[in-house]
A and B are shown apart, each in its own frame.
Chain A
Amino acid sequence: DGGITQSPKYLFRKEGQNVTLSCEQNLNHDAMYWYRQDPGQGLRLIYYSQIVNDFQKGDIAEGYSVSREKKESFPLTVTSAQKNPTAFYLCASSTGLIMNTEAFFGQGTRLTVV
């Protein structure tokens, strides 16, 4: 079945450690996105990539990094510089320009800093 897979579902991290969240899609989509969801704030865009080996900062990129070495994969690293990393992280993909097409979302990763 085609879809977008995030792993792990739950992740715990100690303060000061970097952690990488996985996002894989087999939908052959060009564009991929990372969003952060906090209670009462909706979804905020962290990074997005429209094509392999290219990505752009979203609205809240500070403290995060990404790579897009393969079309299928768009991992997100939460660095120790991110001041408040505890949140629900959602990865999404779309075929192209998001204004004309549906974004497909993964199940999310809940990151907790302990």
Chain B
Amino acid sequence: GNSVTQMEGPVTLSEEAFLTINCTYTATGYPSLFWYVQYPGEGLQLLLKATKADDKGSNKGFEATYRKETTSFHLEKGSVQVSDSAVYFCAASGGGNKLTFGTGTQLKVEL
């Protein structure tokens, strides 16, 4: 089956710093790739997605590019805000209509 590995947290940054959260996957075939965000006490919300190689997903200043050659989907943002503090999950679609999630990376942004 699929597996998703993402960098461990917590990641602590100052406001306006550059963010990278690494995500790599193993999968048979060509999965779609997703980043979900979870704010405290809430469910997950889709942040962005990419469905094929070299696609770039983007939303709210966040970006991630589907890199088939490195099996990666790293999340980036040029200038983080305190309101971006949350847990970020990388996920890959797989057979049987399933999503496989990484373990999540907690981001803390300080003033």
Residues of A within 8 A of B31 (CB): 99
Considering only CB atoms, which chain B residue lies closest to A107 in the complex? B43
Q: Using a CB-CB cutoff of 8 Å, which residues 16-49 of chain A contact chain B?
A: 31, 33, 35, 40-45, 48
Complex CA gap A45/B93 in Å reads: 12
Residues of A within 8 A of B104 (CB): 42
Most B CB within 10 A of own CB, among A31, A58, A99, A108:
A99
Kindly state the interface size class of chain B when it binds its partner. Answer: 20 to 34
A98–B93 contact, CB under 8 A? Answer: yes
Of A43, A50, A102, the residue contacting B97 (CB under 8 A) is A50
Q: Which of B12-20, B45-53, B62-70, B74-82 contacts A (4 or more CB under 8 A)?
A: B45-53
Complex CA gap A48/B94 in Å reads: 13
Chain B 78-92, CB-CB to A under 8 Å as 1, else 0, gives: 000000000001000
Main secondary structure of the interface of A (DSSP, over half): strand
- Residues on A facing B (Cβ under 8 Å): 4, 6, 31, 33, 35, 40-45, 48, 50, 56, 58, 90, 92, 97-100, 102-103, 105-108
**Within the complex, what minimum Cβ distance (angstroms) separates B100 from chain A?**
8
Assuming the contacts A40-B103, A42-B103, A43-B89, asked whether A98 and B98 have C-beta atoms less than 8 A apart, the reply is: yes
Considering only CB atoms, which chain A residue lies closest to B98 in the complex? A45
Residues of A within 8 A of B42 (CB): 107-108
State whether the Cβ of B22 lies closer than 8 Å to any Cβ in chain A.
no
- Residues on B facing A (Cβ under 8 Å): 31-32, 36, 41-46, 49, 51, 89, 93-94, 96-99, 101-104
Residues of B within 8 A of A48 (CB): 96-98
Complex CA gap A108/B31 in Å reads: 26
Q: A90-B44, A98-B32 are in contact. List 7 more A-B contacts (CB 8 A).
A: A42-B89, A42-B104, A45-B99, A98-B99, A99-B32, A99-B94, A106-B43
A103–B46 contact, CB under 8 A? Answer: yes
Give 22 pairs: A residue, B residue, CB < 8 Å, sorted on A: A4-B43, A31-B97, A33-B99, A35-B101, A42-B101, A43-B44, A43-B89, A44-B101, A45-B99, A48-B98, A58-B98, A92-B44, A98-B32, A99-B93, A100-B32, A102-B46, A103-B46, A105-B36, A105-B44, A107-B41, A108-B41, A108-B43
